[in-house]
Structure 1
Amino acid sequence: MRTADIGRWAFALAFLVLGLLSLFSRDFASVWQPVPPNLPGRALLAMLSGAVMTVGGAGLLLRRTLVPAALLMMSYTLLWLLLLHVPRVILAPMHEVTWGGCAEIVTLVAACCVLYASVATPADKPYFAALTGAHALRVARLAFAVAIPLIGVEHLVYAKETADMVPAWLPYHLGWAYFTGIAHIAAGLAIAFNVLPRLAATLEAWMMGGFTVLVWIPMIMNTPSQRFAWTGLMISAVITAAGWIVAASYGEAPWFAFSRPRNSKIPLAT
């Protein structure tokens, strides 16, 4: 099974579950979708948001609906970014938590862009040439590369809070908080400047996956009925899957390349 397929399916399933959680709870994803509680029609908008994630996630699972689903989720996550997170950064530019939240959504936009750029052809509908090919892939990778250092800085600024999430059986909790923060920054710089980009993107995806497995799965096991825990797991899973999609976009590029890789299309299951 190809890495590109695994990343896409995980990305799709995480979005699908997030959508179902919103539909059944009639609420937005906690913290991640900071919609004002007094917004008129909030419950209806939450269900509409959930429906988009559910339909988009299901569409990403199938090759025949992949192109329109990728475009739908690209548009949806970009709207999510511009309406919910960018204003928070503008209003509180000195709060790193707002930058970190913004960066997490950028990783989703980047992954959707990679999927669309990699598989859309003139024969597909809808087709936008400017969003396909080598240039679009480079822009998407750069967006991902800019986002993950902001997540790393958040780990460093809120090191104590990050350390509190480290599993109790691991030693040096604060050390892990600093290590992961620095690793996020290093991976982003490596991808941005094409210094071992395939290796950097893959290690970044593995690190995010480790966080999902070590932090959120035990939380689900301890509190299986809490919506917050399931939402946190799916958020962590979809970000991890976004990392795998970006890593897979390097295709057959050498692991130890120090120059710009070839920008070929990702081979996806038909």
Structure 2
Amino acid sequence: MTKTFVLGRAIFAVALGSLGVQCLLRGNAIPTLEPVTSAAALPLIGWITGIVLIAAAIASLLRASASYGAAVIAAVVLLWVALLHLPALIAAPKNGGEWTGASESLAIGGAALVLFGLTRIPDALAARCILAGRIFFGVCMLGFGALHFIYIAYVAFVIPGWIPAHVFFGYATGVAHVAAGLGILTGVLGRIAALCTALMFGSWVLIVHSPRVIAKSQDPNEWTSMLIALAMCGATLLIAEAFARRTQRVEGAND
């Protein structure tokens, strides 16, 4: 196992497991990712989600159960997209917050598919899962870029005050998302795009989300935003690993 894979899997698992812990502590579903509308069902759903995510995250870190853990994460999160986000988007197609949540869920589900493809499963199945995961993630990166452009005022607002030219950097991160999405989708400089994106998300955890969590430690939305950014950092490291392994297979076949 490469350092990129080990680090990416660890970061991804810690982020998803921490989201599960948040569910148990609050007795509630995950803000943004799991938009359950029934208030009466929230405590039960929160407990189930928490237990499943924690167990799956731990399983994904163990060699014997890694494929099962990744498969469960992918199935659960992609079910959120199909059963919760899709109906919400149909009902309110101009809701930017819902587009963000749906894209984040689809990206995390795609990353879990990539992780599943990187475990010990048959090569043909692995290739299909990695490709599907890349497509999901790459499309979401394009969507994030578009959302940065559409909601530039909000993006500029959340950039820390000590960073100058908020609007410029808001647009710049939108361009970075689009470039990363194109690289991941097409495979052109795909590994470099994924590694740069991992660095981008990781830096946001440190300079954007961590200070906001410290300032508003009782706000579950701030914790969720930070953990999603952390999950995206791990996700892009896993995608970078998938590109590296593909290159190794091609080079091996040509020898």
Query: TM-score, with normalisation over the residues of structure 1?
Result: 0.85
Partner of 1:203: 196
Partner of 1:41: 41
Partner of 2:135: 142
Between the two proteins, what is the percent identity of the paired residues? 29
Counterpart of 1:25 in structure 2: which amino acid?
R
Partner of 1:168: 161
The answer to whether 1:29 aligns with 2:30 is: yes
Partner of 1:157: 150
Partner of 1:268: none
Classify 1:263/1:41 alpha carbon distance in 2 versus 1 (closer, same or farther; 3 Å): farther
Counterpart of 1:63 in structure 2: which amino acid?
R
Q: Tell me, what secondary structure is at the counterpart of 1:63?
A: coil
The CA distance in 2 between the partners of 1:47 and 1:150, in whole Å, is 31
Please report how far the alpha carbon of residue 154 of structure 1 lies from its aligned counterpart in structure 2 after TM superposition: 0.8
Q: Tell me, what secondary structure is at the counterpart of 1:41?
A: helix
Counterpart of 1:10 in structure 2: which amino acid?
I
Q: Tell me, what secondary structure is at the counterpart of 1:93?
A: coil
Please report how far the alpha carbon of residue 113 of structure 1 lies from its aligned counterpart in structure 2 after TM superposition: 0.9
Classify 1:182/1:222 alpha carbon distance in 2 versus 1 (closer, same or farther; 3 Å): same
Partner of 2:177: 184
Asked whether the 8 Å contact 2:16–2:57 carries over to 1, the reply is yes
Partner of 2:62: 62
Q: Structure 1 stretches of 5 or more lacking a match? A: 123-128, 254-260, 265-270
Partner of 1:125: none
Partner of 2:236: 243
The answer to whether 1:233 aligns with 2:250 is: no
Asked whether the 8 Å contact 1:96–1:153 carries over to 2, the reply is no
The CA distance in 2 between the partners of 1:93 and 1:117, in whole Å, is 32
The CA distance in 2 between the partners of 1:262 and 1:80, in whole Å, is 35
The CA distance in 2 between the partners of 1:110 and 1:155, in whole Å, is 21
Asked whether the 8 Å contact 2:21–2:54 carries over to 1, the reply is yes
Q: Structure 2 stretches of 5 or more lacking a match? A: 251-255
The CA distance in 2 between the partners of 1:226 and 1:135, in whole Å, is 39
Asked whether the 8 Å contact 1:107–1:243 carries over to 2, the reply is no
Q: Any idea what the Cα deviations from partners look like across 1:206-242, whole Å, max 9, x if unmatched?
A: 1122222111111222233443332222122112211
Q: Any idea what the Cα deviations from partners look like across 1:79-131, whole Å, max 9, x if unmatched?
A: 11111211122222234433332111111111111111121336xxxxxx76x
In the alignment of these two chains, the number of paired residues is 249
Asked whether the 8 Å contact 1:60–1:69 carries over to 2, the reply is yes
Structure that is richer in helix per residue: 2
The CA distance in 2 between the partners of 1:94 and 1:162, in whole Å, is 18
Mean alpha-carbon deviation: is it higher for 216-225 or for 165-174? 216-225
Counterpart of 2:199 in structure 1: which amino acid?
W
Q: Tell me, what secondary structure is at the counterpart of 2:197?
A: helix
Partner of 1:121: 121
Counterpart of 1:136 in structure 2: which amino acid?
C
Classify 1:152/1:45 alpha carbon distance in 2 versus 1 (closer, same or farther; 3 Å): same
Please report how far the alpha carbon of residue 263 of structure 1 lies from its aligned counterpart in structure 2 after TM superposition: 5.9
Asked whether the 8 Å contact 1:134–1:263 carries over to 2, the reply is no
Counterpart of 1:41 in structure 2: which amino acid?
A
Classify 1:103/1:227 alpha carbon distance in 2 versus 1 (closer, same or farther; 3 Å): closer
Classify 1:236/1:192 alpha carbon distance in 2 versus 1 (closer, same or farther; 3 Å): same
The CA distance in 2 between the partners of 1:171 and 1:55, in whole Å, is 42
The CA distance in 1 between the partners of 2:143 and 2:56, in whole Å, is 27
Classify 1:206/1:263 alpha carbon distance in 2 versus 1 (closer, same or farther; 3 Å): farther
Partner of 2:253: none
Please report how far the alpha carbon of residue 167 of structure 1 lies from its aligned counterpart in structure 2 after TM superposition: 0.9
